[in-house]
Amino acid sequence: MKIAIAQINPVIGDFNHNFDKIKYYAEEAIALSCDLVIFSELTVSGYPPRDLLEKEDFVDTNIAYLSNLVSSINGIGVICGFVDKNPDDEGNWLFNSAVLFENGKVLHKINKRLLPTYDVFDERRYFEPGIEVVSFPYKGRRIGLTICEDVWNDKEAIKKRIYHLDPVSLMIEDGADLIVNISASPFHVGKREFRWDMLGSIAKKYDVPLVFANQAGGNDSVLFDGISAAFNREGKMAARAKDFKEDLVVFDLKRTEPDEQNLHAVAGSDTESILKALIMGTHDYVTKCGFKKVVIGLSGGIDSTLTAYIAVSALGKENVSAVFMPSQYTSKDNYEDTEKLSKNLGIKLETIPIDGMFKEFLKYISPSFKESDPGVTEQNIQARIRGTILMAMSNREGSILLSTGNKSELAVGYCTLYGDMNGGLAVISDVPKTAVYDLARFINTEKEYIPSRIITKAPSAELKPGQTDQDDLPAYDILDSILKGYIEDFKGADELVKMGFARDLVEDVISRVDRNEYKRHQAAPGLKVTSKAFGYGRRYPLAQRYTPK
């Protein structure tokens, strides 16, 4: 059997778009003489549809479009995901389902058995778990069809299993000699290799080929890297789709060795993967929300610089405008670096000084202001003036404002509500400051897009004379290590101290993280690239008094 893996970027609720994509790639697979084409989880509706699933019309429309696909595609078997209704009087009223159809007939249908309810997943909120765990015959094979999480409970691969059922092992017992997994498996740094190892080891353990069809594209904060793949009976990768792009690859079960033509190139490092993810996520969020253009506030610092580069890469320089808003505290270097960056990227730059506006504010709000030592109030006024200007530009141009804060700042509250936190998308809000520098250096390996001085100079908000971030924060390499331990690895203060960090520093960082939960609750949505991002995958109470130990 010759199998095509069609890796597409669906748009949630755009059933015409998704229908056309499925039909197009099915025809591509037919042209390649394939017997079967496999699409990702909930392909018809797009994943994750979240509370759209509570709308009966949404579910009915997805079922109607599946019916149209069944009658429209002939000459090849098709496996794809959709939302089905649960006919029983008890349990959730929907199933996360997959179907195999061919030449106008539905040959097999299964419902997802393992429903994740951690991090960004909340599937038990909507779906009822499937009951049947059976294989089915197709073209001389017995296919064990699984949906995403159904393969993530292998006792050798998963140290702490959260489900009692392993659908793959049960399908093997039922005679399956080909495992198919349709997925919407999100990206985060480090997951790619684990996923490859897990899927390859399952294929090798059961001595069967395994096909993994993953979604590509960004939907809200969640980014899907694709990298759909097929593994032969020895557990070797035999085919692989591109990362962060739509693609189609072919897996011929008759071949005993990997097919080099169908092993498509992917990022060579975590840094490159993050950059690709952010570019894809920015493009998809902006365009799927109905925008074409973005506006960015440039400061001469590395965060806004990286955000501008990502925006240009995602949307094209003609769709990116920048605003530079200097004050009396802005250095000459930042004037020069901002100008050079805008020329390097080919973007429109508008300069709007804020000194006059700042002085008018101070007359009424802070009459005791001392120019030589502005306090937090005065510093925040400057940030909020800039935020107001940027939102005005966004309104004027019909563009979406990209905020530029990184994860380190957002974690400890080193940001201003209704100021630099303004925006419709926080592009690098899940990128620690140290990784921001890594990305900038990686970008410049090909060409100096980013002026070198932006990378080497000390970071500063420039809200008072001679200010640097390290006046208020630990060195970023130390801060980021503590933040990773606390936020992503769930370590307490005692564990972090045992790692070699000073207790007073650890307790100060933890306190800052906890007391700024209310700020993050009001932040723009960000693009998730780490194992634990701020947003709906991290749910902490705003009003609480727990002190981590």
Q: In sequence order, what DSSP letters do the residues of 247-264 get, joined into one string?
A: EEEEEETT-SS--GGGB-
Where are the domain boundaries for CATH 3.40.50.620 in the chain?
274-469+515-521
Tokens for 352, please give them. 């709007």
Q: Where residue 244 falls among pLDDT bands split at 50, 70, 90?
A: very high
| Per-residue pLDDT, 339 | 98
Lowest mean pLDDT among 48-52, 367-371, 386-390: 367-371
- Topology of domain 274-469+515-521, per CATH? Rossmann fold (3.40.50)
| Per-residue pLDDT, 368 | 77
| Per-residue pLDDT, 446 | 87
Where are the domain boundaries for CATH 3.60.110.10 in the chain?
2-257
> Is residue 58's pLDDT more than 90?
yes
| Per-residue pLDDT, 468 | 86
| Per-residue pLDDT, 165 | 94
d(CA 273, CA 187): 9
> Is residue 372's pLDDT more than 80?
no
| Per-residue pLDDT, 547 | 87
> Is residue 41's pLDDT more than 80?
yes
| Per-residue pLDDT, 356 | 95
Residue 374's SS3 state is: coil
Tokens for 308, please give them. 């501008």
d(CA 189, CA 51): 28
| Per-residue pLDDT, 462 | 80
Tens digit of pLDDT for each residue in 321-366? 999 999 999 999 999 999 999 999 999 999 999 999 999 998 888 7
Q: Where residue 370 falls among pLDDT bands split at 50, 70, 90?
A: confident
Mean per-residue pLDDT, 177-202 = 97
In the residue annotation, 148 being an active-site residue is answered as yes
- 83-109: burial string, b at 16+ Cβ within 10 Å, e else: bbebeeeeebbbbbbbbbbbeeeebbb
Write down the catalytic residue from 34, 80, 148, 415. Answer: 148
Write down the catalytic residue from 2, 21, 112, 242. Answer: 112
Write down the catalytic residue from 2, 21, 34, 41. Answer: 41
- Domain 2-257, CATH: 3.60.110.10
48 phi, psi to nearest 5 deg: -100, 130
Tens digit of pLDDT for each residue in 59-83? 999 999 999 999 999 999 999 999 9
Tens digit of pLDDT for each residue in 457-504? 988 888 888 888 888 899 999 999 999 999 999 999 999 999 999 999
> Is residue 373's pLDDT more than 80?
no
Q: What is the pTM of this model?
A: 0.96
Reported for 283-287, long-range contacts at CB under 8 A and 24+ positions apart, including other chains, are: 283/218, 283/314, 283/315, 284/9, 284/217, 284/218, 284/219, 285/218, 285/220, 285/425, 285/525, 285/527, 286/314, 286/315, 286/400, 286/425, 287/315
Q: Which of 256, 250, 386, 276 is nearest to 324 (CA)?
A: 386
Of residues 467 and 369, which shows the higher confidence score?
Answer: 467
Tokens for 151, please give them. 């393969």
CB 255 within 8 A of CB 10: no
Tens digit of pLDDT for each residue in 247-291? 999 999 998 788 899 999 999 999 999 999 999 999 999 999 999
Q: Where residue 54 falls among pLDDT bands split at 50, 70, 90?
A: very high
In the residue annotation, 155 being an active-site residue is answered as no
